Amino acid sequence: MTSSTSLASTFDSTCSDPDLESRVEELLSRLTLEEKIGLVHGNTKFTTAGVPRLNIPTRWLTDGPHGVREEISPDSWIPAGRWDDYATALPVALGMAATWNPELVQAGGRLLGSEARARKKNILLAPGVNIQRTPLCGRTFEYFGEDPFLASRMAVAYIRGVQSLGVAACVKHLAVNNQEIDRMTIDVQVDERSLREIYLPAFQAAVQEAGVWVVMGAYNKLRGQWCSHNSYLLNHVLKTEWNFKGLVVSDWNAVHDTTEAVFNGLDLEMGTELPPEKHFLSEPFRDGILDGRYHIELLDEKVRRNLRVLIATGGMEQEENRPSGILASPDHRAISRELAEEAIVLLKNEGNLLPVLLDKVRSIAVIGENAIRKHSKGGFGAGVKVMHEVNSLEGIRQRAGLCADITYSVGYSAEDAGQEALERAVKTASRADVAIVFAGLGRAPYLDDESTDRASLALPFGQDELIRRVAEVNPRTIVVIVSGSPVEMDSWIASVPAVLQAWYGGVEQGTAIARVVFGDVAPSGKLPCTFPHRIEDISAHDFGSDTYPGLNGKVFYKEGLMVGYRHFDHQNIEPLFAFGHGLSYTDFAYSDLTLESGEGAIILNASFNLTNSGSRRGAEVAQLYVQDLESSLPRPVKELKGFAKMMLEPGEQRRVTIPLNVKAFMFFDPERSGWMAEKGHFRILIGSSSRDLRLAAEYHFEDSIFEPVPAALNGHAKREPVSSSDISLCEARP
Identity of the residue, 63 or 269, whose beta carbon is nearer to ligand BGC in the bound complex: 63
Identity of the residue, 125 or 327, whose beta carbon is nearer to ligand BGC in the bound complex: 125
Q: Is 295 in the site for ligand BGC (CB under 6 A)?
A: no
- Tell me the DSSP string of 432-497: SSEEEEEEE--SSTTSS-TT---S-SS-STTHHHHHHHHHHH-SSEEEEEE-SS----TTTGGG-S
The candidate with the shortest Cα–Cα distance to 188, out of 544, 536, 446, 558, is 558
Count of residues in contact with ligand BGC, rule CB under 6 A:
6
Give min distance, CB of 107 to ligand BGC, in A: 23
Question: CA dihedral defined by 91, 92, 94, 97, rounded to 10 degrees?
Answer: 40
Question: ∠ CA(253), CA(254), CA(259), 5° rounding?
Answer: 115
* Binding residue (CB under 6 A) for ligand BGC from 41, 117, 172, 236: 172
Give min distance, CB of 575 to ligand BGC, in A: 29
Contact 298, 262 (CB under 8 A): yes
Identity of the residue, 125 or 188, whose beta carbon is nearer to ligand BGC in the bound complex: 125
Beta bridge partners of 619: 647
Contact 173, 162 (CB under 8 A): no
Q: Is 636 in the site for ligand BGC (CB under 6 A)?
A: no
Positions marked catalytic:
251
Find the binding residues for ligand BGC in span 46-75 (CB under 6 A). Answer: 63
Find the binding residues for ligand BGC in span 250-269 (CB under 6 A). Answer: 251-252
Give min distance, CB of 237 to ligand BGC, in A: 20
Q: Residue 634 CB: number of other CB atoms within 10 A?
A: 12
Give min distance, CB of 254 to ligand BGC, in A: 8
DSSP helix/strand/coil, 684? strand
Identity of the residue, 251 or 338, whose beta carbon is nearer to ligand BGC in the bound complex: 251
Give min distance, CB of 225 to ligand BGC, in A: 18
Q: Is 125 in the site for ligand BGC (CB under 6 A)?
A: yes
Query: Distance (Å, rounded) from C-alpha 638 to C-alpha 572?
Result: 12
Q: Is 203 in the site for ligand BGC (CB under 6 A)?
A: no
Give min distance, CB of 60 to ligand BGC, in A: 13
Identity of the residue, 38 or 383, whose beta carbon is nearer to ligand BGC in the bound complex: 383
Identity of the residue, 108 or 383, whose beta carbon is nearer to ligand BGC in the bound complex: 383
The candidate with the shortest Cα–Cα distance to 557, out of 208, 242, 131, 247, is 131
Burial of 69 from C-beta contacts in 10 A (0-12 / 13-18 / 19+) = buried
Element (H, E) at 364: strand 363-367
Burial of 273 from C-beta contacts in 10 A (0-12 / 13-18 / 19+) = exposed
Identity of the residue, 64 or 506, whose beta carbon is nearer to ligand BGC in the bound complex: 64
Q: Is 381 in the site for ligand BGC (CB under 6 A)?
A: yes
Query: Distance (Å, rounded) from C-alpha 207 to C-alpha 248?
Result: 12
Give min distance, CB of 367 to ligand BGC, in A: 35
Query: Distance (Å, rounded) from C-alpha 131 to C-alpha 701?
Result: 29
The candidate with the shortest Cα–Cα distance to 485, out of 523, 447, 525, is 447
Which residues contact ligand BGC by CB under 6 A?
63, 125, 172, 251-252, 381
